[in-house]
Copies of this chain bind each other. A is one copy, B any other.
């Protein structure tokens, strides 16, 4: 748009992002107002800043009232029945907004941003909170590692066991077949039957490969 063209992706610098947010937000709201005016269309726009602050605009009259009520707290006692309802809703709305702002600030501070307003005591408290959280997360992670590993080992053991059983079944079958063949079949038929039902031991078949692995190969 101006001195230089910029890429449309998240602006990394916090200050630059805030400046841009402020400018573009105003631009966007102006455009929204123009569209609703020029084309007589109803329109609502709700924007949260990265700090959790809420901005909104709505062309419809009732929402404008609500919006105004939010900006400058009360002076609407003079209105009749609907105003009471609006006030109730509005207070909930304001409470929610405040809660969001508070939680957003707390989250940002836990991520190490927006720390300039804190004194040493508050910073130490935050550090302690982070260390406690980190300890819990690392514990949970390690526990999960152990669980996943033992679960995989169990599965591996089961597979190996199955493998053994299958191997024995295959050996039994091939013995039976060999026995049957030895009792009366021709040598040409022997070759055919053996290659399809009992491949040579030195060469891994697809089946024995899958069953023989201690861990599944999709890990």
Residues of A within 8 A of B (CB): 6, 8-11, 17-18, 20-21, 24-25, 27-28, 31-35, 37-50, 52, 54, 56, 58, 60, 62-63, 66, 81, 84-85, 88-89, 91-93, 95-97, 99-100, 103-104, 106-107, 109-113, 115-116, 118-120, 123-124, 126-127, 129-138, 140-141, 144-145, 148
Distance, CA A35 to CA B11, complexed state (A): 10
Given A63-B85, A123-B140, A137-B123, A25:B20 Cβ within 8 A:
no
Contact indicator A41/B49 (Cβ below 8 Å): yes
Contacts A28-B31, A92-B93, A96-B93; is A127 near B137 (CB within 8 Å)? yes
Contact A37 B49 (CB under 8 A): no
Assembly CA distance A191 to B54 (angstroms):
74
Residues of B within 8 A of A85 (CB): 60, 62-63
Contact between A38 and B17, CB atoms less than 8 A apart: yes
Is B28 touching A10 in the complex (CB atoms < 8 A)?
A: no
* Copies of this protein in the complex: 2
Inter-subunit contact B44/A21 (CB<8 Å):
no
Report whether B100 and A96 are in contact in the complex, using a CB–CB cutoff of 8 Å.
Answer: yes
Smallest CB separation, A79 vs chain B (Å): 10
Distance of A92 Cα from B68 Cα, bound (Å): 15
User: Which of B41, B88, B111, B113 makes the CB contact (< 8 A) with A47?
Assistant: B41
29 A-B contacts (beta carbon < 8 Å): A10-B39, A10-B40, A20-B38, A21-B41, A24-B39, A28-B32, A39-B49, A41-B48, A42-B47, A42-B84, A43-B45, A44-B44, A44-B47, A44-B91, A45-B45, A54-B96, A58-B88, A60-B84, A89-B89, A96-B100, A100-B103, A111-B129, A112-B134, A112-B135, A112-B140, A118-B140, A120-B144, A130-B133, A131-B134
Pick the residue among B46, B116, B148 that contacts A92 (CB under 8 A): B46
Q: Hey, which chain B residues are within 8 Å of A48, CB to CB? A: 41-43, 99
Candidate in A112, A118, A131, A144 with the most chain B CB atoms within 10 angstroms? A112
Q: Which residue of B lies closest to A85 (CB)?
A: B62
B contact residues around A31 at 8 Å (CB)? 24, 27-28, 31
